[in-house]
Amino acid sequence: MINVGLLGLGTVGSGVYEILNNEENNLKKLLGKDISVKKILVNDINKKRQVELPKDILTTNPYDILHDDNIHIVVEVIGGIDKAHEYICEAFKNNKHVVTANKAVVAKYMDEFLFLSNKYEKGFLFEASVAGGIPIIKPLKQNVRINNISEIKGILNGTTNFILTKMIDDGLGFDEALKLAQELGYAEADPTDDVEGFDVKRKLAILASIAFNNQIDVDSIKCSGITNINTLDISMFKKLGASVKLVGSALSSGNKVSASVEPVLVNKNSTMATVKGAFNIVSIVGDTIGQLQFYGQGAGKKPTANAVVCDIYDIISGQYKTDHFIQNGNMREADLDLFNSKYYLRVNTKNISRVLGMLDKNHIQKFTIMSMKNNLVLITDNTSAKSIEIISSQLNTIGDDFSIVRLEDDLNTNALCIGI
């Protein structure tokens, strides 16, 4: 008998509980062992639950799980950083395998968790922490053994992709679309993490750390979300034959690692544009494999719980390695140096000449103006991401309402600007 201790019984935790119960016989046939959820940690024991539970299975005391010698695997799905970090460390120290879906804690403490997993010879798997139901971490770990990975790019957040899809395809307002995403269980406990891009930043840090064999400092990744995109932007993007996506990108060249999270305009006929709703896509480029793409549901109860249960399965069947696959203790910063693109810029300003002066000062002398009515809307020529970051922080300081969106390379701006 394998006993599981669940930390958390929200969207993901209840999905894990359901799958383990519904698939009980199937899992027993495959693994030759019974799996039982022995205890579940929650905040509020009296809350109405989505699943039927045996009496006394819930607890508010984490040590009922962490200090129980008969619990073999701890599944952490409470979210957040400090408590999750404390409980995961305590689980290893008490000789338990750990599975988590929590990207916030993994992005920050990946190196330490891998060290502990190695030290105590226990599995540490976190497939659900990036791109929900898509298997990406396991194949990435495999490919890194043979390939030098030069690029990771993807739509890594279901909530924002769902919101943008609803705004573009169904004309919903931002708030209404966000509320729907929350009701469907896609959003983080604090949805600011989704809409400001922090969640993507964490997922990108995890992928880049594995791909580039060094823990990437999550706080060094520059990030902007989707909250500045308004209905005027959406109508401009439609005129441009483009679709907007929140994209995380990381590049590695020589000793350099660059990473960013930002809204990106993609050609409406591109693969990225076809990724709708809470679906995600992740692409990696390696010197041997070329480009690999992974597509599937990036958020929600069942797909995420499926990824967690696959990790539980891998641990029980011994398909995990405790080797410390990123270097210990040597945190690496990501910069913007390897990014150079065209950018869409909209500024709601009465002082157009001041904005043009700002562009000039930051060496952005070539651009195509799309509109000067109330808002200045333009597309720059190829520009360094660093210059754009400076413009963005200056516009933030002035307090003008603005949006900046990077153009994906495959977007033909010559054709786009005709007829505007």
Ligand X SMILES: N[C@@H](CC=O)C(=O)O
Mind telling me the catalytic residues? 203
Q: What one-character DSSP code corresponds to residue 420?
A: -
Query: By CB under 6 A, is residue 132 in contact with ligand X?
Result: yes
Between residues 304 and 383, which has the closer beta carbon with respect to ligand NDP?
A: 304
Size of the site for ligand X (CB under 6 A): 11
102 near ligand NDP (CB under 6 A): yes
102 vs 387 by CB, closer to ligand X: 102
Stretch that binds ligand NDP, among 75-83, 138-146, 309-317, 371-379 (CB under 6 A): 75-83
Q: Which residues contact 65 (CB under 8 A, 6 or more apart)?
A: 5, 6, 7, 38, 39, 41, 59, 71, 74
393 is in an annotated binding site: no
CB of 160 to ligand X, least distance (A): 7
Spatial separation of the C-alpha atoms in residues 330 and 317, rounded to whole Å: 32
* 164 contributes a contact to ligand X by CB under 6 A: no
Number of helices (H) and strands (E), helices first, in the chain? 15, 20
The binder of ligand X chosen from 5, 154, 158, 303 (CB under 6 A): 158
> Treating both helix axes as pointing N-terminal to C-terminal, what angle do 198-211 and 103-119 enclose, rounded to 10 degrees?
30
Residue 286, both tokens: 């390696």
The tokens describing 27, both together, are 């899992």
Give the count of beta carbons closer than 10 Å to the beta carbon of residue 33.
12
378 is in an annotated binding site: no
Interface region with ligand NDP, contact rule CB under 6 A, candidates 169-177, 185-193, 236-244, 264-272: 185-193
Determine the Cα–Cα distance for residues 411 and 409; give it in Å rounded to an integer: 5
CA end-to-end span of the chain, whole Å? 67
The residue whose Cβ lies closest to ligand X is: 159
> Can you spell out the DSSP letters for 5-62?
EEE--SHHHHHHHHHHHHTHHHHHHHHSS-EEEEEEE-S-TTS--SS---TT-EES-T
Instruction: Give the position of tokens 């929900």.
Output: 132
Instruction: From the list ligand X, ligand NDP, none, pick the one residue 157 interacts with, judged by a Cβ distance below 5 to 8 Å according to partner type.
Output: ligand X
Task: Decide: is 206 part of the binding site for ligand NDP (CB under 6 A).
Answer: no
Nearer to ligand X, 250 or 299 (CB): 299
Q: Please provide the DSSP assignment of 141-188 as one string.
A: HHHHHHPPEEEEEEE--HHHHHHHHHHHHH---HHHHHHHHHHTT-S-
Q: Which stretch binds ligand X (CB under 6 A): 29-37, 109-117, 180-188, 216-224?
A: 180-188
Is 10 annotated to bind a ligand? Reply is yes
Residue 17 CA: distances (Å) to CA of 34, 53, 189, 317 = 14, 9, 20, 19
Nearer to ligand NDP, 299 or 404 (CB): 299
**82-93 vs 103-119: helix crossing angle, rounded to 10:** 20
Shortest spacing between CB 199 and ligand NDP, in angstroms: 7
298 is a site residue for ligand X (CB under 6 A): yes
Query: Is residue 200 within the footprint of ligand NDP (CB under 6 A)?
Result: no
**Choice between 84 and 316, CB closer to ligand NDP:** 84
Does 207 show up as a binding residue in the annotation?
no
Contact 272, 153 (CB under 8 A): no
- What would the DSSP string read from start to end of 225-289? -STT--HHHHHHHHHTTEEEEEEEEEEEETTEEEEEEEEEEEETTSTGGG--TTEEEEEEEETTT
Min CB(313)–ligand NDP separation in Å: 18
Angle at 343 between CA 243 and CA 418, to 5 degrees: 70
* Contact window for ligand X (CB under 6 A) among 19-27, 66-74, 136-144, 152-160: 152-160
Counting contacts by CB under 6 A, is residue 188 touching ligand X?
Answer: yes
Backbone angles phi, psi at 74, to 5 degrees: -105, 125
Q: Is 14 annotated as a binding residue?
A: yes
Partner touching 154 among ligand X, ligand NDP, none, CB below 5 to 8 Å by kind: none
Contact flag: residue 128 with ligand NDP (CB under 6 A)? yes
Residue 188 interacting with ligand NDP (CB under 6 A): yes
User: Annotation-wise, does 8 bind a ligand?
Assistant: yes
Binding positions are: 7-14, 103, 188
Binding positions for NADPH are: 103
By CB under 6 A, name the binding residues for ligand X.
Answer: 132, 157-159, 186-188, 194, 199, 298-299
Binding positions for L-homoserine are: 188
By CB under 6 A, name the binding residues for ligand NDP.
Answer: 8-13, 41-44, 47, 77-79, 83, 101-103, 128, 132, 185-186, 188-189, 299-300, 304
